[in-house]
Amino acid sequence: MTQKTLKAAVLGASGYTGAETVRLLRNHPHVEAVAATGNALAGQKLSSIFPHLGGRGDLDVIKAEDVRWDEIDVAFGCLPHGTSQDLIETLPSNVKIVDLSSDYRFRDPVAYSKAYGREHIAPERTASAIYGLSEHAAESLKGADLVACPGCYPTAILMVLLPLMSPLIIDTDSIIIDAKSGASGAGRGLKEGNLFCEVTEGTHAYGVGTHRHTPEIEQELNLRAGKSDIEVTFTPHLLPMARGEHVTCHLRGDVHDVQAALEAAYANQPFVTVLPLGSPPPDTRHVRGTNDCRIAVYPDRVKGRVIVIGVIDNLVKGSSGQAIQNLNLMMGWDQALGLDVLVPLFP
């Protein structure tokens, strides 16, 4: 390859988004993961934590402070919220940041504090960070230094709803979003609720009426619609599967207007498919392991009601894949670099 290779550090390589970032970078023509950090597990090989990453090109997990930052061009922040900003704010300014946590997603630091219960240590930085929903941020991403990747739920939901906001073609007082996620969306934390025996063969809702992704979703909807009072009902559910995110948006509007707005928004997007009206419902299996998003629109029996479904892989389009897509856009590259080799794994 003739073009200069970017050296990447993956911060927090012991979680699922960190591992997924490493996985996806394996096929990137211009970016190489050269450092992987993880304070608790420093000293181990990455392949001893994630054996599936062994074989071709293992990495030593090191402490963040031991990274040779002068050799790093870009850092992928795969840390929990809070931890992320604490580290990112210490990095030298030459390092481009693609953060997957929620730390820089709020344009208003006060909204962040309210949602996450702590003061932001760099309020001006969060205010100026680019909210990296790739298809909707391509222009502003070009040349950006700090990108906040949307949460997995906001990604799926905003991919569906943003194109309906300007012009506003749905009623904003009846946006009901019922979302379903695989267990990897909850991360690799050691708690009973993440155990196999407590996830398999059953389902439950969580964060009912209170989930922290709701203000993030509302922020972007209002911004796009030029409003400030849009509120949504958002109810996530944990499903007995590892990957996949499925959002069912119950809206009031005209089915053909909605279909047309979505088709127009994503006409030339390599990763987004708006299915023709009348298609069978999309399935999370249809996008598993890829950066794809599929969207389908249905008329309801109830006149004036529309149901729009979106599916993504929460670890790819919902986190690590979109992060790489964002880096591509930041660098002025084809947004599909390194991601276009992905074909869904089914069954």
Active site residues: 152
Q: What residues pair up with 75 in beta bridges, in sequence order?
A: 9, 97
| Subset of residues 212 to 241 that bind its own copies, contact rule: CB under 8 A | 214, 231-233, 235, 237, 239-241
Instruction: Give the CA count within 13 Å in the CB-facing half-sphere of 340.
Output: 8
SS3 state at 124: helix
Instruction: Give the CA count within 13 Å in the CB-facing half-sphere of 263.
Output: 10
User: Binding marks (x or -) toward its own copies, 2..41, rule CB under 8 A?
Assistant: --------------x--x---xx-xx--------------
| Subset of residues 102 to 121 that bind its own copies, contact rule: CB under 8 A | none
Residue 127 φ then ψ, to 5°: -65, -30
Q: Which stretch binds its own copies (CB under 8 A): 78-86, 119-127, 129-137, 244-252?
A: 244-252
**According to the binding rule CB under 8 A, does residue 289 interact with its own copies?**
yes
Q: Is residue 233 within 8 Å of residue 157, measured between CB atoms? A: no
Which of 86, 206, 332, 334 is the binder for its own copies (CB under 8 A)? 206
Q: Is residue 125 within 8 Å of residue 146, measured between CB atoms? A: yes
Which of 89, 302, 332, 334 is the binder for its own copies (CB under 8 A)? 302
Q: Which stretch binds its own copies (CB under 8 A): 65-73, 144-152, 193-201, 259-267?
A: 193-201
SS3 state at 135: helix
Give me the least distance between CB of 64 and its own copies, in Å please. Answer: 21
Q: Is residue 87 within 8 Å of residue 75, measured between CB atoms? A: no
Minimum CB distance to its own copies smaller for 85 or for 155: 155
Minimum CB distance to its own copies smaller for 43 or for 143: 43
Give me the least distance between CB of 277 and its own copies, in Å please. Answer: 11
Q: Does the bond joining 280 to the residue before it have cis omega, within 30 degrees of 0?
A: no
Minimum CB distance to its own copies smaller for 102 or for 184: 184
**According to the binding rule CB under 8 A, does residue 59 interact with its own copies?**
no
Q: Is residue 65 within 8 Å of residue 92, measured between CB atoms? A: no
Give me the least distance between CB of 245 and its own copies, in Å please. Answer: 9
**According to the binding rule CB under 8 A, does residue 128 interact with its own copies?**
no
Task: Please state, in angstroms and rounded to a whole number, the distance separating the CA atoms of residues 181 and 187.
Answer: 12
| Subset of residues 142 to 171 that bind its own copies, contact rule: CB under 8 A | none
Give me the least distance between CB of 310 and its own copies, in Å please. Answer: 11
Task: Please state, in angstroms and rounded to a whole number, the distance separating the CA atoms of residues 219 and 314.
Answer: 21
**According to the binding rule CB under 8 A, does residue 305 interact with its own copies?**
yes
Give me the least distance between CB of 181 and its own copies, in Å please. Answer: 9
Task: Please state, in angstroms and rounded to a whole number, the distance separating the CA atoms of residues 178 and 234.
Answer: 6
Which of 81, 125, 224, 243 is the binder for its own copies (CB under 8 A)? 243
Task: Please state, in angstroms and rounded to a whole number, the distance separating the CA atoms of residues 338 and 335.
Answer: 9
Q: Which of 293, 179, 175, 165 is nearest to 221 (CA)?
A: 165
Q: Is residue 105 within 8 Å of residue 39, measured between CB atoms? A: no
Stated as kind and residue range, the H or E segment containing 126 is: helix 123-128
| Subset of residues 258 to 287 that bind its own copies, contact rule: CB under 8 A | 273, 280-287
**According to the binding rule CB under 8 A, does residue 196 interact with its own copies?**
yes
Q: How many residues bind its own copies (CB under 8 A)?
A: 81
Give me the least distance between CB of 167 and its own copies, in Å please. Answer: 23
